[in-house]
Amino acid sequence: MADTQKEQERTKLHATIWSIANDLRGSVDGWDFKQYVLGMLFYRFISENLNSFINQEQKRAGVENFNYAKLTDAEAEIARDHILEVKGFFILPSELFATVRKEAINNTKYAEETLNETLATVFKNIADSAEGTASEDNMKGLFDDIDVNSKKLGATATKRNQQLIKLLTKIGKLSLGNYNDNSIDVFGDAYEYLMGMYAADAGKSGGEYFTPQEVSELLARITVVGKTTVNKVYDPACGSGSLLLKFAKVLGKDNVRNGFFGQEKNHTTYNLCRINMFLHDINYEQFDIANDDTLTTPKHLDDEPFEAIVSNPPYSTEWDGDGNSVLINDERFSPAGVLAPKSKADLAFVMHVLSHLATNGTAAIVSFPGVMYRGGAEQKIRKYLVDNNYVDAVIQLPKDLFFGTPIATCILVLKKNKPDNKVLFIDATAEFIRIDSKSKLNNKHIDKILDCYTNRQSQEHFAHLAEHQQIKDNNYNISVGSYVAPKDETEVIDISELNNRISKIVTQQQQLRNQIDAIVADLAGQA
């Protein structure tokens, strides 16, 4: 799909979201509003996905013009077990998004009196359909954050239903595209747009940061350089899943062998991540997303090692640290001989990632810049990482790329089987364009960074390949600015030329004064 067409789709999507926001403005705050939009997107997607799947199966079986949506619920029940086994969820024809939307538009009484109750029942039935099956954990609670009976939508059932029908109508008009045909990622783009609209609310509601899609792509591409397939991908602070899903875009989901794994502490965001997986046609048996504190209660110890790990963990967040006597003996953290500070868990996530990384794997972690140069325990952990040759590269990114923070973050790249004992430092702070008051990486910027990372050579003012001894002599400071000198943009001034110009100005100034004195004297004589 051409970039112009993509932008047109994106503009339509943003206009629809803005229109819905205007409909709900004053009743639903930004954070809750996000849940309604994304939840309804999910409901529509899985309805259409299921309907399309069943229709295609029937067509392959020789039944032409079959339409699951037109079956009675009793007729559909016959195929429940088979559909659950394949898709992991089941929706009756009467409960499909298009059916409910059509009834709400055409039946005023239904829309005004029972729409909210119908939706609540539909959402419960979808989640309950997986109970006792292999997909139960991946379906449980997916609609918990969409409260269709909330008084925030309206004081009465009629008012709530009026808002819900607007939501159904406008979500129904969106072009969802196809994630595999290079069209826009509707869910990811909607989420990013909503985060931009309500960044303050997002920060207030758990300090979450959405990783911009172009940064997600850069991280994924770094970890798969030279590869066409990887065995299991992982994100220990997966948020809404945007980083994990870039592997499906970069490699193709079938080239991620044995699945997508992630853990997220915030329950609402954990739900969004699972929703996001389904929206990108990652079926329930292909992902395992857990909801708990990664640092204290890791859920994927039996699934590691992972060949590709990407993450954008919370910056300088608090954790148990040395307040929990068990952690110093935890095999994830003990090799460094010291724990990350209680007030700054950044390197705790790094050590966790390293322990889960396969010997042939690569990890790319978005990091707070201070982690690269601060002293104390963090310096000791960096010493462990550098001396054991785990640090492959450090890439300094431009400032103002992320929602909720203007800082210039960096990427820490880890490997366990490096071809040399050197660290590549890349200064990409100038690789951006400004769009809508934020910095953005475009394809040209991403390609330049990746080419430099792949070629692994020093480039004046852009990259430096540092020997181990140089880093050791620098007290294990691995901040990019300590190794890559910025280009001197100061204008070179010719002193002789400057003096000549000043002399001419002085001469001209004196001539003007003489002319003014003559005019004044002439006027005085006439008087």
The per-residue pLDDT for range 294-351, each reduced to its tens digit, is: 999 999 999 999 999 999 999 889 999 999 989 999 999 999 999 999 999 999 999 9
Q: CA–CA separation, 269 vs 202, rounded Å?
A: 11
DSSP 292-323: S-TTTS-S-TTT--EEEEEE-PPTT----GGG
C-beta of residue 20 within 8 angstroms of C-beta of residue 170: yes
Q: Inform me whether the pLDDT recorded for 27 exceeds 50.
A: yes
> Residue 283, by phi and psi: left (phi above 0), alpha (psi -120 to 50) or beta?
beta
If pLDDT is split at 50, 70 and 90, which confidence band does 14 have? confident
Alpha-carbon Rg of the chain, whole angstroms? 29
DSSP 250-290: HT-GGGEEEEEEEEESSHHHHHHHHHHHHHTT--GGGEEEE
The per-residue pLDDT for range 400-422, each reduced to its tens digit, is: 888 767 888 999 999 999 989 99
Q: Inform me whether the pLDDT recorded for 151 exceeds 60.
A: yes
The more confidently predicted of residues 452 and 182 is 452
The more confidently predicted of residues 351 and 214 is 351
pLDDT given for residue 180 in this prediction: 45
Q: Which of 249, 332, 268, 248 is nearest to 298 (CA)?
A: 332
pLDDT given for residue 200 in this prediction: 46
Q: Which of 174, 171, 150, 170 is nearest to 160 (CA)?
A: 150
The per-residue pLDDT for range 490-521, each reduced to its tens digit, is: 566 677 777 788 888 878 888 888 888 777 77
pTM: 0.83
The more confidently predicted of residues 59 and 7 is 59
pLDDT given for residue 50 in this prediction: 93
pLDDT given for residue 346 in this prediction: 96
Q: How deeply is 444 buried, as exposed, middle or buried, from its count of CB atoms within 10 A (0-12, 13-18, 19+)?
A: exposed
If pLDDT is split at 50, 70 and 90, which confidence band does 171 have? confident
How high does pLDDT run on average in the chain? 87
Q: Which of the given ranges, 156-160, 247-251, 377-381, has the highest pLDDT on average?
A: 377-381
pLDDT given for residue 8 in this prediction: 78
